[in-house]
Amino acid sequence: MKCCVVTLGCQMNQSDSERIRSVIEKMGFEMTDVEEEASLIGVVACSVRQKAIDKVYSKIQKWNKWKNEKQLVTFVSGCILPADEVKFLKLFDLVFRMNELPELPTMLYQCGVTTEFSARNPLNDLQREDERTDFWQVDPTYSSNFEAYVPIQNGCDKFCSFCAVPYTRGREVSRASADILNEVQKLIDRDVKSITLLGQNVNSYGLDKKGEEISFANLLRAIGELGKKSGKKFWVYFTSPHPRDMTRDVIEAIADYECLAKQIHLPVQSGDEKLLRRMNRNHNIEDYLTIVSDIRELLPTATIFTDIIVGFSGETDEQLENTAQLMLDVKFNMAYIAKYSPRVGARAARWEDDITPQQKSERLARLTEVLKRTSYEHNEAMIGKTFEVLVEREDPRKAGALATRTEGKLPVRIVDAPSDLVGTFQRVEITSASELSLTGKLV
């Protein structure tokens, strides 16, 4: 019996899929990437992105047609808005939330899925097994043998006016630090080279369990100690933090441990005070610049990435220019700039989406030019210097080349290098730089 799990979303959805796959494999299914081969097909989607939702509908319509020809059970999970959940219940055999994952074998059994596992384990045993664990304790089937995502927190309490995540994933819940450290230790033992701590608001870690859990800074320190003790080389990242909870002790912790990567992804969304208030971001430009100055002081080699929305409801040309100025002041290495589109469920969806598609495209182009300028200045200064990189894969755009990243997550293409270096650290000398990438040779 084969199962196919399709992921349509962000790193969090990918991490959810890894845990779903693991539960299904334990039931006796063989995993496949070919939908046509599967008798159990699921989709893990982000219901806040309209594109992902459109794809879910087109997939389930196709799969439901297949049911005329073969036995097929379908399920959907991930970040699902309550309104979509109601519609999905009519189309899928099973809709579940990630915190119900331990109950998946029982739920599938109730949908008529019988496997060797369920034949061996009558329903009562399955239910007992469900009760033993929460979804974070499910060992994932990692999709890479040298990079791994580790969820540390789920949900969000921030309610930014443009975002529907608090309605799809619920309120912030921190995973037990003992579980996180246990998973990180297992990854270190497996010689994983890159670990990314995941959550909607990683740096508000522990705030929902004050007095019972450690802070985010102390979680980073505990991971740093594991790294130190192991004597192994690996890089630990986290995404995404919120500026409101980005305290100096987090940056100090990163400075103190070699394995904590010197790269900070800190979404700012806008460089305009009034727009930040309208976005309900709960931080101002001064707060943001203070964090940046702490990063520059304590982590002088760190790269800084951000997320920006252009064309948010009511955004003026002047407000866009304030964002451009902030970008010039911070000198971001990377900015993921998105054109605003209303998210069903989010507060701003009730406001007029008054910036035309053409204006949004022009604003995106304007900020992309600014990004290219600051990024190129940084990249150009790297020419002739040597850096350690992690080889991620064969370069899909150039035969015989490898796609790698520095500790600061800057992409470096190495030409004429053997493919068996994928998954290893290498030293490269930077030979040329472009606006958003670099080229180097093995040293």
Beta carbon of residue 49, minimum distance to ligand SF4 (angstroms, whole number): 12
Beta carbon of residue 269, minimum distance to ligand SF4 (angstroms, whole number): 8
Decide whether 201 or 319 has the Cβ nearer to ligand SF4: 201
What is the C-alpha separation between 401 and 257, in angstroms, rounded? 32
Q: Rule CB under 6 A: choose which of 41, 138, 156, 391 binds ligand SF4.
A: 156
User: Cα-flanking dihedrals φ and ψ of residue 42, to 5°?
Assistant: -130, 160
Q: Which stretch binds ligand SF4 (CB under 6 A): 59-67, 160-168, 258-266, 360-368?
A: 160-168
Strand locations in 271-401 (E): 303-310, 334-339, 386-394
Total of chain residues touching ligand SF4, rule CB under 6 A: 10
- SS3 label, residue 108: helix
User: Cα-flanking dihedrals φ and ψ of residue 17, to 5°?
Assistant: -60, -40
Decide whether 4 or 46 has the Cβ nearer to ligand SF4: 46
Give, as ranges, the residues between 181 and 220 that touch ligand SF4 (CB under 6 A).
Answer: 200-201
CB 152 within 8 A of CB 136: no
Q: Which stretch binds ligand SF4 (CB under 6 A): 163-171, 317-325, 373-381, 385-393?
A: 163-171
Q: Rule CB under 6 A: choose which of 42, 105, 166, 224 binds ligand SF4.
A: 166
Beta carbon of residue 201, minimum distance to ligand SF4 (angstroms, whole number): 5
- Token pair 């910036």 is found at 355
Decide whether 137 or 341 has the Cβ nearer to ligand SF4: 341
CB 406 within 8 A of CB 433: no
| 159 lies in the binding site for ligand SF4 (CB under 6 A) | yes
Beta carbon of residue 149, minimum distance to ligand SF4 (angstroms, whole number): 16
Site string for ligand SF4, 220-259 (x = CB under 6 A): ----------------------x-----------------
| 153 lies in the binding site for ligand SF4 (CB under 6 A) | no
- Token pair, residue 334, equals 């990377």
Beta carbon of residue 253, minimum distance to ligand SF4 (angstroms, whole number): 21
Q: 3-state DSSP helix/strand/coil percent for the chain, to nearest 5?
A: 45, 20, 35
Q: Which stretch binds ligand SF4 (CB under 6 A): 158-166, 222-230, 360-368, 406-414?
A: 158-166
CB 243 within 8 A of CB 202: no
| 160 lies in the binding site for ligand SF4 (CB under 6 A) | yes
> Which value, to the nearest 10 degrees, does the dihedral of the CA atoms of residues 206, 211, 213, 216 take?
40
CA-angle at 438, arms to 432 and 443, nearest 5°: 75
Beta carbon of residue 14, minimum distance to ligand SF4 (angstroms, whole number): 16
Q: Which stretch binds ligand SF4 (CB under 6 A): 162-170, 184-192, 226-234, 325-333?
A: 162-170
Decide whether 56 or 156 has the Cβ nearer to ligand SF4: 156
Q: Rule CB under 6 A: choose which of 26, 158, 347, 366 binds ligand SF4.
A: 158
Which DSSP string corresponds to 192-241? -SEEEEE-TTGGGTTGGGTTTS--HHHHHHHHHHHHHHHT---EEEEE--
DSSP for residue 297: H
CB 310 within 8 A of CB 340: yes
Contact positions vs ligand SF4 (CB under 6 A): 156, 158-160, 163, 165-166, 200-201, 242
